[in-house]
């Protein structure tokens, strides 16, 4: 759940119209193709990762539509691919063990220099990890969300006023 992001939006258009704007389309994010297709009454946005040679952590996004009156409630859930989740969880586990080790060293051996060094290394690794995740995985998540929101905007404008399509 640490790497899962759930966002809810309300759009002033019908569910079928919003689906038709999204289904079958492709979106390019950082020169990577994401395909939008319908599966089990929801939309899935999946990256085509077979063209990548480098190691990347990519999201799989599902979009659920519910009509509530004259608005459509859209729930966007982005999860890390199971294939990619091993590395981030391993880093988190390693850093948490280093933090625990620093607490044990400080409490039982009374070696503050060693404990502070372990804690500093662990905090540095976590900070670097989260910066890299923000530039990579979470950037893909933000851009997929922005793509969905852009498809729900009105298409026509008349006298600088947006009208529903």
Measure CA 113 to chain center: 38
Q: What is the pLDDT of residue 127?
A: 95
- The Cα 59–Cα 64 span in angstroms is 16
Q: What is the pLDDT of residue 121?
A: 94
Q: What is the pLDDT of residue 123?
A: 94
User: In Å, what is the CA distance from 117 to each residue of 65, 109, 111, 122, 164?
Assistant: 50, 14, 10, 9, 59
Q: How confident is the model at residue 93 (pLDDT cuts 50, 70, 90)?
A: very high
Q: What is the pLDDT of residue 15?
A: 85
Q: What is the pLDDT of residue 77?
A: 92
Q: What is the pLDDT of residue 14?
A: 85
Q: How confident is the model at residue 109 (pLDDT cuts 50, 70, 90)?
A: confident
Percent of the chain whose predicted confidence (pLDDT) is above 90? 28
Average pLDDT over residues 156-165: 52
CB atoms within 10 A of CB 84: 17
- pLDDT tens, residue by residue, 59-71: 889 999 988 888 8
Q: What is the pLDDT of residue 39?
A: 84
> Residue 74 pLDDT more than 70?
yes
Q: Where are the alpha helices (DSSP H) in 34-111?
A: 86-104
Q: What is the pLDDT of residue 33?
A: 83
> Residue 155 pLDDT more than 70?
no
- Mean pLDDT of all residues belonging to the chain: 84
Q: What is the pLDDT of residue 128?
A: 95
């Amino acid at each position: 759940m640490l790497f899962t992001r759930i966002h809810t939006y309300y759009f002033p258009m019908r569910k079928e119209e919003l689906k038709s704007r999204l289904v079958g389309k492709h979106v390019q994010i950082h020169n990577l193709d994401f395909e939008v297709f319908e599966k089990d009454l929801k939309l899935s946005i999946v990256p085509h990762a077979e063209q990548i040679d480098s190691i990347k952590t990519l999201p799989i996004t599902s979009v659920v539509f519910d009509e509530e009156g004259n608005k459509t409630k859209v729930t966007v859930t982005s999860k890390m691919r199971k294939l990619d989740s091993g590395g981030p969880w391993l880093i988190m586990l390693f850093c948490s063990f280093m933090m625990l080790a620093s607490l044990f060293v400080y409490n039982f051996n009374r070696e503050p220099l060693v404990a502070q060094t372990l804690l500093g290394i662990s905090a540095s690794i976590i900070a670097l990890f989260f910066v890299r995740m923000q530039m990579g995985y979470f950037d893909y998540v933000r851009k997929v969300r922005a793509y969905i929101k852009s498809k729900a905007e009105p298409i026509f404008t008349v006298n600088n006023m947006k009208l529903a399509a």
